[in-house]
Structure 1
Amino acid sequence: MTVFQAPEGYIALDDSNKLFKKILQEGTGELANRSGSTVKVHYTGSLFDNGDVFDSSVDRGTPFEFKLGKGQVIKGWDVGIASMRIGEKADLLILSEYGYGAQGSPPKIPGGATLLFNVELLDIDLSTAELSIQEKIAKAKELKGKGNELFKKQEFSEAAKVYQQAENTLSNTWGAEPEEGSQIKDLKVSLYSNIAAASLKIKDAKQAQIYSKKTIEIEENHEKANFRLYQALTMLGKFEEAIELLETKKEILKGIDVDQEILRVRKQKAQAIANEKKVYSKMFA
């Protein structure tokens, strides 16, 4: 696959190589990096291949406003504008994956079109903004602490709810710096694992299964998450899945006798089958 080569002076804004920016005038005001903040811009959009202008707020004489990070505009705008300061003028070069995709926006924008936007960031209204990433991390840590206190008091249902509030706080954290990303990852692992633990306590095996898997998606060999997934599968009567997990993850499940657990699950399966046969025999007696 041919990698797009942006013209001189353009820099990639992320690792996708689908969005590039060339600063024409440095901004001196607030940075537009708060999701949910309302930004006001002037722009002229054209097709990169032939220069045909398809839209211009400048020509209309009316700035365009939208909320960042809410999917109200194409991804190239959500990411590109978030890199600008008030007063900055820049060209945003947006490949179709960050623009209108293979379908385009007929009749003016054909499918697969690369777009060029000349943009000026006029103003930012932070009153509509979400918490900053650092504020979200701090809030999630605070809620995690409250959840832990509830768990210690054996208020497991409430603890699970508070952990989920903390999880929701960490949504929409695109644009995080590497150190922030690491903190978010660690928090999510801890929160997902804790939700699974609390769910098992209240016999909500389905939720325990979901959050154990979410933990493992991030940290494959997380011992407690794998053990909690095994417990949830057993509780749900998914005995063969439970046995397969035990056999696959035997090396990391240091805290249990895996062979004994496998025997126990096989006995549970046999008992479940026997109970099912009894029910059917009574139904048709």
Structure 2
Amino acid sequence: KFSGYLEDQHKPFCTNCYSKSPGLMKLGKDITLLGLEVGLLTMKKGELSRFVFTPGYAYGQRGCPPLIPPSATVIFEVEVLDFLDSAESDTFFELTAEQQAEFPLQKVLKVADTERQFGNYLYRKRHLDDAKDRYKKALSILGLSPSSEAEQRQINASKLLLLLNLSLTYLKLDRPTQALAYGEKALEIDQRNAKALFRCGQACLCMTEYEKARDFLARAQRIQPFNHDINNELKKLASCYRDYMNKEKEMCCRMFASLNTSA
């Protein structure tokens, strides 16, 4: 969050403090004021600072009419809510496929994790389509050829987090078919992953595939028998299945009643 003031003035000439959820701002792109760039790089998450910028660090000798007069000293109050260092990730995605292939595994995993964190931020802000795209972007660079079992485990661990996130995001987007597909891919990596089984069960329940839903959820419950969410989903499944059977019964009764009337 930020507010900029002229000296001896209490009303800001620019601020985003009236927004409930300030958006992402990128250094060098959305934030170009030299003083702010320098100041922000000294701050920590959660820190609140007040900076006084002389004209050379602010709007220069010309100012920025009509709001900023020439050679103005300005004051900025800044709070860092959160940040993510995406420099290495940005550099990586600017490279050609051949250059990316030469990157060491640990750096590729770090880039994938940065993209996943970006996706998590967007998910928390309910920008679900953007979050999904970030997760897919991260997943797209993990088709690596490991040189050892240890490297394969590292790649799989990174993939598993992304697949689980994609499955959840597609559920929130009301696209259970895709949610199931990503959940099943996660199970290919870890067949006893309770989260993956739970996501698959949720997806099947959304698609009214009750038997498959019961199978996935029961497997999840065997692994985590006291998991509140899993147990509640099984109760929801039982209720949905009961309603489904009652509707089927009613429909059959109406059909037979119609046949009897005709006879």
TM-score between both structures, scaled by the size of structure 1: 0.48
Pick the aligned partner of 1:267 from 233, 239, 249.
Answer: 239
Aligned to 2:135: 163
Higher strand share: 1
Asked if 2 retains the 8 angstrom alpha-carbon contact of 1:133 and 1:180, the reply is no
Give the aligned length: 157
Higher helix share: 2
Aligned: 1:145 with 2:117: yes
Supply the RMSD in Å over aligned alpha carbons: 2.9
Higher relative contact order (CA 8 A, sep 6+): 1
Post-superposition Cα deviations, 1:220-242, rounded to whole Å, max 9, x if no partner, equal 22121111111111001111111
What percent of counterpart residues are identical? 24
Aligned to 2:194: 223
TM-score between both structures, scaled by the size of structure 2: 0.52
Asked if 1 retains the 8 angstrom alpha-carbon contact of 2:201 and 2:215, the reply is no
Asked if 1 retains the 8 angstrom alpha-carbon contact of 2:160 and 2:189, the reply is yes
Give the ranges of 4+ consecutive aligned residues of structure 1 lying more than 6 Å apart after TM superposition. 276-282
Displacement of 1:162 in angstroms is 0.9
Displacement of 1:133 in angstroms is 4.6
Residues 109-124 of structure 1: matches in 2 within 5 Å? none
Q: 1:260 to 1:194 in 2, by over 3 A?
A: closer
Aligned: 1:245 with 2:225: no
Displacement of 1:276 in angstroms is 6.6
Aligned to 1:255: 227
What are structure 1's unaligned runs of at least 5 residues?
Answer: 1-125
Q: 1:265 to 1:183 in 2, by over 3 A?
A: same
Equivalents in 2 of 1:127, 1:192: separation in Å? 23
Aligned to 2:78: none
Pick the aligned partner of 1:180 from 134, 141, 151.
Answer: 151
Residues 1-285 of structure 1: matches in 2 within 5 Å? 128-131=98-101, 132-134=103-105, 135-171=107-143, 173-253=144-224, 254-256=226-228, 261-274=233-246
What are structure 2's unaligned runs of at least 5 residues?
Answer: 1-95, 259-263
- 1:164 maps to amino acid: K
Equivalents in 2 of 1:201, 1:127: separation in Å? 32
